[in-house]
Amino acid sequence: MFTLVRVHVPATVTDSTGRHVTHPDPNHIWDFISKNHEKMRNEDVRLLYMTRRHLQDDTSLIIDAKDADALSDFIIRHLAHLKYVRGVRVINMAKMRFFKVSLEHPGEFFRFTITIDSLPSHIEKVYDTIAALKPGRDIVINYIAQTYQSFDASIMVSVLARSKNHMDVFVDDCIRTLPGVIDAEVTYISKTMRLVSAGEWEEFIGAHFLTSEGEQIKDIDPNRDDSLIAGC
């Protein structure tokens, strides 16, 4: 089972008296996992990827776990006891599909996630339509999953985009216009780190690789203001 595990450390922590306030290092969890992830993995739980969402007080892990019990044991043993952790959120990632990124200069692109609010009766069609989109010059879909993470968030898409404005145009023109889509939220991913070797990663995505067979994502007007910060 594949899950997105978010470890929440608030920006401020107040002691039981309410008088002493601490401001934890926002990289606290990131740094710990970066240094210790190899010791944390076992035959039932594999840490695959780690990300940070822009302006959010959490660190996210994509984890491949044998079952829910193994995942729970892992969280309690390795994450829940860490200093300043206020909570852990688990999001199941069903029908997870990856797409190979064939960009000439992938380092020039930014990573985002799209969280889609779709009518339940349209989820399958929305998922299939997005999964079929072929990479474009400005937008490349990295992975897609059904998450049902709340009553108004059922699909998550990871995307590489030339800029935040390119991303917004893609979402407005290609996602929000799909029948059954109520809304879509874009989040900038400020940090990423693969937690397995390149060989292990290729082995992992091999079983979940999907070849896009639909329309190619259209090019986006290059004359638009393509600054990232302006849109965050």
Rounded distance between C-alpha atoms, residue 200 and residue 69, angstroms = 24
Domain residue ranges in the chain: 2-92, 94-190+209-231
**What CATH number should be reported for the domain whose range is 2-92?**
3.30.70
* Domains 2-92 and 94-190+209-231 fall in the same CATH topology: yes
Q: Compute the distance between CA of residue 35 and CA of residue 200 in angstroms, rounded to an integer.
A: 19
pTM for this predicted structure: 0.88
Predicted confidence pLDDT, tens digits, the chain (232 residues): 899 999 999 888 887 777 788 888 889 999 999 999 999 989 999 999 999 999 899 999 999 999 999 999 999 999 999 999 999 999 999 999 998 776 565 668 999 999 999 999 999 999 999 999 999 989 999 999 999 999 999 999 999 999 999 999 999 999 999 999 999 999 999 999 999 998 888 888 777 887 787 888 988 875 555 444 333 3
Query: Which residue, among 213, 231, 98, 91, has the nearest Cα to 172 in the 3D structure?
Result: 231
CATH of 94-190+209-231 given 3.40.640.10, 3.30.499.10, 3.30.70.920, 3.40.950.10: 3.30.70.920
CA atoms of 46 and 56, how far apart (whole Å): 24
CA-to-CA separations, 158 to 69, 78, 110, in angstroms, rounded: 27, 26, 11
Q: Are 181 and 175 in contact (CB under 8 A)?
A: yes
